[in-house]
Chain A
């Protein structure tokens, strides 16, 4: 026993990661509760979304508050491919990511020159447009038939169903590999875990790549970056495209997990959660995003367990906690080295007493 304790003390970083890894792998066995495995699955989905938004918001510093749009494009692509055309989930998955990326390039190209808050409202706007379009479906476009020459469209439009309107799409197929069908919560747990692990690996590689450094440059000083020969438009577009692709994949996984999707799952509120995950955890930091996801997704569930009699206070406490966290740790829970240093510098430079 003494020997074990001594060994525990001597564990280096790697050892702790190993223990953490084993704990995560055994999580469904340890908790033995479908509900908590389900919460873990939500954690994985939001972790992927957070990491994907982190590319746009954290690395490239683009003020994006409409990330749910890309998530929605991914989810609806998979849902439509699966229900209308019978495409298997694992075939629909890359297509969803690709479509989300193309969509991101198309909408972000004309707005890339907007700065800060103007970009923010435009991304919110696109998020809302996507949600409204999904809720209205094509049949609501009947008003187009009023335009002379388009009267023929009327019959076609009224009978067409693509997104299923406010009810969304039901009966999305479950993922299947070599005859094995993912059904139970814990099946999905390992599927999502694999995707999150790959995402973290890819993000780490991306962070230190030529492109990753270019993003940092653009975020720090766009003019200087341009002077150094960085094609800022291309670099920003790539941030949107890669971030959107990842969000699209997360959406695809989500659709195949819940098998029923509706427009309200992709509202402005979802974009807000993703935004808070990144900033609360630590902008631009991979472990930060994971910690932020715990704060935004797991914490409300934990509160549900803890506050037995005062359930209704849950979101009130949650809102207050968000303010408290930011006031106490404005750099985020697990900030990246770079952001921490920047903040310290800003504090030193500030006029004393102001």
Chain B
């Protein structure tokens, strides 16, 4: 019983990271029908920038690592990565909107290789670890019930993830810009006729998605304590799986898919075998897609390659 609860809690934590990253995939897909394979690397960039800002603020400038500083770090890193997202969209994707879907995917893969190797050149190919002293910033409070442990760190991360997701949900559903975003997702040309600046909306999506991914990156870095430059591929693939699982293009779908994938993985690790957890996750994805070809919350859409 304790083990089950423990795995569920772990799964929820990892799942909330997946969900944050999956939102970036699903939002870009929603407005552009493009799989942004570089999104995972933007997440990885967020993890590295998180570490770098943390170091410079706390070690170089001597600020004490309190909650305010952490919030500042989140804001800075999310803004920078959002900016990178906008630049990426301008250079690599915008020229290709009318060229069909395959060229845009290759361009995205090129961008992914570029970002990965750029980070490797800047910060080295080896693991980077978050210094221990930052751990003390979050008091080591821990709750134990029925043999399962839950740390304050975990709780804070869950709260941040859910706050970000709730904010996004509110923004997309209840604001004017969010409405415009949904209109663009439905039909570019009609949205344009309604006076919506489609390119602005696309640019906005390329800010919000990577920014959320970057927030996920900082949290993954803090949670696991070490990061590496290929982090984007492993997490990106998982998050993309989560987005598809929930029905790509659907924002609540990405959240559900992410949490579900995290739970599946944690349960597979705890009760079957750690070595097979990814294979099991993909296997369940295949089964779900065979039964529901457009994911759990996806609508049926006619599309062509």
Contact = CB atoms under 8 A, between A and B. Distances in A.
Q: Is the interface of A mostly helix, strand, loop or mixed?
A: helix
B162 to A, nearest CB: 25
A315 interface: yes
Contacts of A63: 305
Interface in A86-145: 110-111, 113-118, 120-122, 124-126, 128-129, 132-133, 135-136, 140, 143
B113 interface: yes
B103 interface: yes
A323 B110 contact: yes
B244 A121 contact: yes
Interface stretch (B77-85, B138-146, B206-214, B275-283): B275-283
A315 B111 contact: no
Contacts of A182: none
Contacts of B113: 315-316, 318-319, 322
Nearest to A115: B303
Interface size, A (range): 35 or more
B121 A120 contact: no
B198 A354 contact: yes
Contacts of B273: 140, 143
Interface stretch (A148-156, A199-207, A275-283): A275-283
Interface string B103-124: 1111101111111111011000
Contacts of A332: 103
A140 B278 CA distance: 14
B186 interface: no
Contacts of B252: none
B29 interface: yes
B289 A320 contact: no
Interface in A313-327: 313, 315-316, 318-323, 325-327
Nearest to B243: A121
A114 B35 CA distance: 16
A331 B99 contact: yes
A25 interface: no
A337 interface: no
Given A61-B305, A140-B273, A330-B99, A114 B107 contact: no
A319 B115 CA distance: 8
A318 B294 CA distance: 35
Given A117-B248, A322-B107, A327-B92, A126 B282 contact: yes
Given A128-B279, A140-B276, A279 B92 contact: no
Contacts of A283: 102
B67 interface: no
Contacts of A121: 240-241, 244, 285, 289
B98 interface: yes
A257 B275 CA distance: 30
Contacts of B107: 322-323, 326-327
Interface in A300-353: 312-313, 315-316, 318-323, 325-327, 330-332, 342-343, 346-347, 350-351
A343 B99 contact: yes
B295 interface: yes
A117 B117 contact: no
Contacts of B75: none
A326 B106 contact: yes
Given A323-B107, A354-B198, A111 B290 contact: yes
B278 A132 contact: yes
A319 to B, nearest CB: 3
Contacts of B272: 143
A143 B279 CA distance: 15
Nearest to A316: B117
23 contacts: A116-B304, A117-B248, A118-B295, A121-B289, A122-B286, A122-B289, A126-B282, A132-B278, A132-B279, A136-B275, A136-B276, A140-B275, A143-B276, A316-B114, A319-B115, A322-B110, A323-B110, A326-B96, A326-B99, A330-B100, A330-B103, A351-B192, A354-B198
Interface of B: 29, 35, 91-92, 95-96, 98-107, 109-118, 120-121, 188-189, 192, 198, 233, 237, 240-241, 244, 248, 272-273, 275-276, 278-279, 282-283, 285-286, 289-290, 293-295, 303-305
Given A111-B290, A272-B109, 15 more contacts: A111-B289, A121-B289, A132-B278, A135-B275, A136-B279, A140-B275, A143-B272, A143-B273, A279-B106, A319-B111, A323-B91, A323-B110, A343-B99, A346-B98, A346-B100
